[in-house]
């Protein structure tokens, strides 16, 4: 499981944009968003760098946990 802290993910719109961005590079992955905690969890993605870059390219600032 990958986990990112995305402090500038502040609303449902952000969550949707990030979910779509991750799904585009990891179609089989499951994305779980915890908006109050600004946390994005991605299950089933093999390429952590691709996921992180996708979130960044969508305009957000992910910090990988762990």
Residues within the interface to Cu ion (CB under 5 A): 10-11, 13-14
As measured in angstroms, the least distance from the Cβ of 11 to Cu ion is: 3
Q: Which is nearer to Cu ion, 9 or 29 (CB)?
A: 9
The answer for residues whose C-beta is within 8 angstroms of residue 18's C-beta and 6 or more apart is 6, 9, 31, 33, 40, 55, 58, 60
As measured in angstroms, the least distance from the Cβ of 14 to Cu ion is: 3
**CA-based nearest residue to 47, from 14, 22, 66, 65:** 22
As measured in angstroms, the least distance from the Cβ of 38 to Cu ion is: 11
């Amino acid at each position: 499981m990958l986990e990112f802290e995305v402090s500038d993910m502040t609303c449902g719109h952000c969550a949707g944009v990030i979910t779509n961005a991750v799904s585009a590079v990891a179609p089989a992955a499951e994305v779980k968003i915890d908006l109050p905690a600004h946390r994005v969890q991605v299950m089933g993605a093999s390429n952590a760098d691709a996921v992180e870059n996708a979130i960044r390219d969508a305009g957000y600032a992910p910090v990988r946990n762990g």
